[in-house]
Structure 1
Amino acid sequence: MGRTSGVPARSGRRGPGRRAFLGLAGGLVAAGLPGLAGCAEEPVADHLRVRTDTGPLRERFALLGELSDAHWLGYDVDGAGKRETVPGPDSRIRMVGVARPAADTLRATLDSRPDGERFREAAPLGTVPAPLAPYLPERTGWQENTAYDLLVLGGGKDGAAVDDRADGRFLLHEGRGLVWFDAVFLYG
């Protein structure tokens, strides 16, 4: 059993070897690739999942105050329905839905005159994402105010800087005590 180095002497019998191992591993990986490719192209329905949590809404739309009974969607406009592992450099995230602000907040908002502009009746809601349709009992009777939209997007009180990477509308329905929001935020 003479060893001259730290390497044990080899027996005359050889195992599968490195080439056999790499060939086997390569074959397994190649066999799995068609399945993986199919997964990458399979649409993802997460963008159609109605959310009811209010935390993200409170973060984004602080001026709306405390919200309840929220039903909304949040998704990447350009990546909706696609499985992505890395977001694009300029993702456009849409937050659209309906929620119930506190009654006193809603009344105070409708009585306010942001930038001297009164709330006025809005055109009936246009196309509403199908998953949200059951939560919109009324398509008419909504009130809007462009200056209010800018305040909510700015996230602050009068005079707050408007987020120039956001665009959206906020409609109020006094009779139903609801706020409808549809906003897109650009992340880059």
Structure 2
Amino acid sequence: MRDIASPGRRGILALGAVVVLAACNPAAKSTDGAKVRTDLEPLERRFAALGALSGAHWLGTALGADSRMSVPGPTDVRVVGTARLGAGAVAAITGAPHRSFRRETPRRIPGELAEFMPDGARWVRGESFDSDMTRGTYSGAFYLDAGTDTVYFDTTNPSVSAGSGP
């Protein structure tokens, strides 16, 4: 007779499957220990439509690179962080009549960036603005706070904007 406290064969198999799936899931990758960057040039080349940036704090991390089961090949890179836009830039972007924004708080903020998020930010996000920024060449979300003229970006494989050089 089987012990009631024992997880049994199915329980052990299910637990093993959960562990394997978590190890293979790029979203489960932690960025703990990643170095926060403050250089502007890579961001300005990729997000040229935002104009001149300042006060940037961002991470560029390879997704899935820590999995022992990953298949060799191209690596997706998550570029996530904050930067200040010029004075009044966010109000100009969000006030454009052809765009629609709604209140939305960023999710999945890496711990290394938490201290650089503006206090009391009233984030807004617009899908049409995201689409204008990415031009359909990569995935990304852009959150804007008019009170601090700050953008929070969370992108995967952001490409260099046309006309910004190699």
Query: Structure 2-normalised TM-score?
Result: 0.68
Name the SS for the 1:152 alignment partner: helix
Identity over aligned residues, as a percent?
A: 33
Given that residues 47 and 74 in structure 1 are in contact (C-alpha distance below 8 angstroms), is that contact kept between their aligned partners in structure 2?
Answer: no
What letter is aligned with 1:168?
G
* Aligned twin of 1:56: 42
Report how far residue 128 of structure 1 moved. 1.2
1:76 Cα offset (Å): 1.0
Indicate the residue corresponding to 1:75 in structure 2: 61
* Structure 2 stretches lacking a partner, 5+ long: 1-30, 160-166
1:110 is displaced (CA, Å) by 1.3
How far off is 1:140 after superposition?
5.1
Aligned residue in 2 for 1:132 = 113
Identify if the C-alpha distance between structure 1 residues 47 and 75 changes in structure 2 by more than 3 Å, giving closer, same or farther. farther
CA RMSD of aligned residues (A): 2.6
Number of residue pairs aligned between Structure 1 and Structure 2: 127
Report the CA distance between 1:117 and its aligned residue: 3.4
Structure with the greater alpha carbon radius of gyration: 1
What are the superposed Cα offsets for residues 11-64 of structure 1, whole Å, 9 maximum, x if unpaired? Answer: xxxxxxxxxxxxxxxxxxxxxxxxxxxxxxxxxx89710000011101111111
Q: 3-state SS of the aligned residue for 2:108?
A: coil
Equivalent position of 2:18 in the other structure:
none
In 2, are the aligned partners of 1:153 and 1:167 still within 8 Å (CA)?
yes
Indicate whether 1:168 and 2:137 are aligned. no
Secondary structure of the corresponding residue to residue 103 of structure 1: coil
Within 5 A, what are the aligned runs for 1:81-160? 88-113=72-97, 116-122=98-104, 124-138=105-119, 141-154=122-135
TM-score (norm 1): 0.60
Cα distance change on mapping 1:56 and 1:136 into 2, 3 Å: same
| Superposed displacement of residue 185, structure 1 | 1.3
2:156 counterpart of 1:177: no
